[in-house]
Amino acid sequence: MSPQAPVNSNDDQMRPEYDFSKGVRGKHYQAYRAGTNVVFLEPDLATVFPDSASVNQALRLLVKLAQTKGLVRGRSNKAPQPTSRPKRKAKSKRRTRAARS
C-alpha cells in the first residue's frame, strides 16, 4: 500500500452542486436518538406503499388478523421448542414376493 498524502485544508472545498443554504442543523437528531428501524422496500412494494404510514397501517392489519387466527402471540424470551409430530403407523413386517424368494 502506498502512504496517503496529507489532506490540505485549503483544498477542502465543497462542490458547487452541493447546496446546504436551506439546511437545518440537527433536524432529525431527536428521532435518531430515539432509535429507528430502517426497512428497504422492493420497487413493486414501494409503489403500493408510498410512505411509512401506509406500511404501518398494513402491518397493523396483518398483526390483528394473525392474532384473531391465533397465529401470533407476544414475544417470549424462551427459545422455540420443536413441535411434537404424530407418530407414524408402523410398517407391516410382511415381505414382498421378491424378498421371499
For every residue of the chain, which 3-state class applies, written as one string?
CCCCCCCCHHHCCCCCCCCCCCCCCCCCHHHHHHCCCCCCCCHHHHHHCCCHHHHHHHHHHHHHHHHHCCCCCCCCCCCCCCCCCCCCCCCCCCCCHHHHC
Residue 43: band (very low, low, confident or very high) from pLDDT cuts 50, 70, 90: very high
- What pLDDT is recorded for position 29? 85
Taking all residues of the chain, what is their mean pLDDT, rounded to a whole number?
Answer: 77
Angstrom distance (rounded) from CA 10 to CA 24: 25
Does the pLDDT value for residue 89 go beyond 80? no
pLDDT tens figures, 7-36: 555 667 888 888 888 889 998 888 888 887
* Domain boundaries defined on the chain: 32-72
- What pLDDT is recorded for position 13? 82
Residue 77: band (very low, low, confident or very high) from pLDDT cuts 50, 70, 90: low
Place of cell 402471540: 73
Task: Say what the pTM is.
Answer: 0.39
Does the pLDDT value for residue 48 go beyond 60? yes
